[in-house]
């Protein structure tokens, strides 16, 4: 595998997939619309970050894409500066995205005129499988090109299967995801019914897992234990599941019902996550961490969402910042809460500034500043800011900032808030560098 391979789309799935290729010694040329995601990939040996999809295509013989939806796939491949414009004859492109068959057929026809062969290679598996290299690839397109891409599929996944001509992989994947969506709702309803009945959900999990009945399956095995442990870190976004189901020919009434279901999934997730986090009794298990890495990894999770809502994130990270003592996942939760609250305060878009650095007046302390250009708050709102269940949002739970404050205090930190109606809000969080007793 001496030739360079291209990778475009370095998010939740694409980032770990590209990392596995790099770790296997495959030279990579990569691009992502998010500078943070591109920079994270560029830290691996043998990875070169470039400025456009077309530039990736110009330097490789095989190119993988992993993108959110039809519109972005079409733009990356067919827009000016895209793959079709930059790619050389003989290039093989593999789209791992879950998109409509129509989008794949349009892309395949568009690049064919340039002598490029397009394969659809959608995946089964989510973020943990992308990290561990255990993805299952469903391959559609010219069968004769399978041998050329097989070495890379074998690095990123545990298995692949050729299923037919162009867009066959997409059709299989969309049918699969429709089934998975139904199963995920059924598992959630069963777990909720168990809890509401007064039964022990942990015992229920063991009964289903070990009983040999028809209810046990992959989704139940992978997700229920995480929920019972209070781990709600995302492995697949509900909006992407909605997009996948919408790609199938469904009656308008069914699509409308799906949108209602999606809105309620969002609401229930906020409530469940907040309640579980607020009630968390287990102590934080701290260790040395890099606050800048916490910021960068948080933006990998929510950066695209903020950008889609018209929010520009400006970073001022002190690169010489030393380690502090704390729990990275907990601090990431604090930052996610602050960023999403800032987004909600700027419904028409705006800017968020994230700053890290040593505290100017406290030796042995560092600062994390999150400032937005949103609506701001008056004295009454500031006085109640950290109270559980206090919220000014119709769809809010009032738990996000309460949980955040609890985590900050568990780290021995303090937080100052400056807010002026109409002029935004600034959270100035200060942490001791060393272990908090």
The tens place of each residue's pLDDT in the chain, 437 residues long, gives 458 999 999 998 999 999 999 999 999 999 999 999 999 999 999 999 999 999 999 999 999 999 988 999 999 999 999 999 999 999 999 999 989 899 999 999 999 999 999 999 999 988 889 999 999 999 999 999 999 999 999 999 999 999 999 999 999 998 888 788 788 878 888 888 887 788 888 898 899 999 888 888 888 888 888 888 777 776 666 666 666 656 656 666 656 656 655 655 554 555 455 444 544 444 446 788 999 999 998 888 788 888 888 999 999 999 888 889 888 878 888 898 899 889 988 988 999 999 999 998 888 899 999 999 998 888 887 888 777 666 665 555 456 788 888 889 889 999 999 998 989 999 999 999 876 55
| Domain end (from 278, 313, 346) | 278
Q: Indicate whether 437 belongs to any domain.
A: no
Q: Indicate whether 330 belongs to any domain.
A: yes
Q: What is the DSSP string of 239-306?
A: HHHHHHHHTS---HHHHHHHHHHHHHHHHHHHHHHHHHHHT--SPP--EEE-HHHHHHHHHHHHHHHH
Q: How far apart are CA 428 and CA 20, in angstroms?
A: 37
Tell whether 269 and 311 lie within a shared domain: no
| 406 is a catalytic site residue | no
Q: Indicate whether 68 belongs to any domain.
A: yes
Q: Indicate whether 266 belongs to any domain.
A: yes
Tell whether 274 and 296 lie within a shared domain: no
Tell whether 339 and 409 lie within a shared domain: yes
Q: Indicate whether 250 belongs to any domain.
A: yes
Q: Indicate whether 131 belongs to any domain.
A: yes
Split into its structural domains, the chain has a count of: 3
User: Could you tell me the two tokens for 40?
Assistant: 């994270």
Tell whether 110 and 219 lie within a shared domain: no
Q: Which long-range contacts (CB under 8 A, 24 or more apart) does 37-46 make?
A: 37/10, 37/11, 37/300, 37/303, 38/10, 39/296, 40/10, 40/15, 40/296, 40/300, 41/7, 41/10, 41/15, 44/18, 44/19, 46/22
CATH number for the domain spanning 190: value is: 1.10.1040.10
Tell whether 138 and 97 lie within a shared domain: yes
Beta-carbon contacts of 83 under 8 Å, excluding residues fewer than 6 positions away, are: 8, 53, 54, 56, 57, 63, 65, 76, 77, 91, 93, 111, 116
Tell whether 263 and 158 lie within a shared domain: no
CATH number for the domain spanning 398: value is: 3.30.565.10
Tell whether 179 and 260 lie within a shared domain: yes
Q: Indicate whether 138 belongs to any domain.
A: yes
Tell whether 401 and 311 lie within a shared domain: yes
Beta-carbon contacts of 420 under 8 Å, excluding residues fewer than 6 positions away, are: 376
| Domain end (from 248, 278, 308) | 278
Q: How far apart are CA 279 and CA 166, in angstroms?
A: 50
Tell whether 229 and 214 lie within a shared domain: yes
User: Could you tell me the two tokens for 249?
Assistant: 């020919």
| Domain end (from 140, 166, 192) | 166
Give pLDDT, residue 282.
Answer: 46
Q: Indicate whether 365 belongs to any domain.
A: yes
User: Could you tell me the two tokens for 418?
Assistant: 């400056």
Beta-carbon contacts of 251 under 8 Å, excluding residues fewer than 6 positions away, are: none
CATH number for the domain spanning 106: value is: 3.40.50.720
Going by C-alpha positions, the residue among 156, 207, 173, 215 that lies closest to residue 5 is: 156
Give pLDDT, residue 279.
Answer: 47
Q: How far apart are CA 418 and CA 181, in angstroms?
A: 43
The DSSP output letter for 426 is E
3-state helix, strand, coil in the chain (%, to 5): 45, 20, 35
**Which residues span the domain enclosing 62?**
5-166
Tell whether 150 and 179 lie within a shared domain: no
Residue tagged active-site, from 23, 173, 225, 393: 173
Tell whether 159 and 25 lie within a shared domain: yes
HSE on the CB side for 50, CA within 13 Å? 20
Which residue has 């999809």 as its token pair? 53
Q: Which is it for strands 324-326 and 365-372: parallel, antiparallel or unpaired?
A: unpaired
Tell whether 29 and 115 lie within a shared domain: yes
């Amino acid at each position: 595998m001496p030739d360079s391979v291209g990778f475009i789309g370095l998010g939740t799935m694409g980032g770990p997939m590209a990392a596995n290729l790099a770790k296997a010694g495959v030279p990579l040329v990569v691009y992502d619309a998010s500078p943070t995601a591109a920079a994270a990939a560029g830290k691996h040996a043998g990875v070169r970050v470039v400025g456009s999809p077309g530039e990736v295509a110009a330097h490789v013989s095989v190119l993988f894409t992993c993108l959110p939806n039809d519109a972005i796939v079409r733009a990356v491949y067919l827009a000016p500066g895209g793959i079709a414009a930059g790619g050389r004859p003989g290039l093989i492109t593999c789209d791992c995205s879950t998109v409509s068959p129509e989008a794949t057929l349009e892309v395949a026809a568009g690049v064919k005129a340039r002598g490029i062969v397009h394969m659809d290679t959608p995946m089964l598996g989510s973020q943990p499988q992308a990290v561990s290299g255990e993805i299952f690839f469903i391959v559609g397109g010219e069968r004769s090109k399978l041998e050329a891409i097989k070495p890379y599929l074998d690095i990123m996944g545990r298995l692949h299967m050729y299923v037919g001509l162009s867009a066959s992989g997409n059709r299989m994947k969309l049918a699969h995801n429709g089934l998975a969506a139904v199963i995920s709702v059924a598992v959630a309803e069963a777990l909720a019914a168990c809890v509401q009945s007064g039964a022990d959900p942990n015992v229920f999990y063991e009964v289903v897992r070990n009983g040999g009945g028809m209810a046990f399956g992959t989704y139940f095995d992978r997700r229920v234990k995480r929920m019972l442990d209070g781990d709600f870190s995302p492995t697949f976004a509900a909006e992407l599941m909605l997009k996948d189901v919408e790609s199938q020919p469904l009656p308008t009434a069914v699509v409308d019902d799906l949108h209602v279901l999606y809105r309620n999934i969002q609401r229930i997730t906020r409530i469940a996550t907040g309640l579980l986090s607020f009630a968390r009794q287990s102590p934080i298990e701290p260790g040395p961490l890099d606050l800048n890495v916490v910021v960068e990894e948080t933006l990998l999770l929510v950066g695209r969402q903020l950008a889609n809502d018209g929010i520009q994130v400006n970073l001022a990270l002190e690169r010489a910042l030393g380690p502090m003592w704390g729990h990275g996942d907990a601090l990431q939760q604090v930052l996610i809460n602050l960023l999403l609250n800032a987004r909600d305060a700027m419904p028409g878009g705006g800017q968020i500034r994230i700053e890290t650095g040593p505290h100017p007046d406290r030796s042995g302390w560092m600062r994390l500043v999150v400032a937005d250009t949103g609506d701001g708050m008056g004295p009454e709102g500031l006085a109640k800011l950290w109270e559980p269940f206090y919220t000014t949002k119709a769809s809010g739970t009032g738990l996000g900032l309460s949980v955040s404050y609890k985590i900050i205090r568990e780290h021995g930190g303090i937080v100052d808030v400056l807010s002026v109606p109409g002029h935004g809000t600034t959270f100035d969080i200060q942490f001791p560098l060393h272990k908090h007793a």
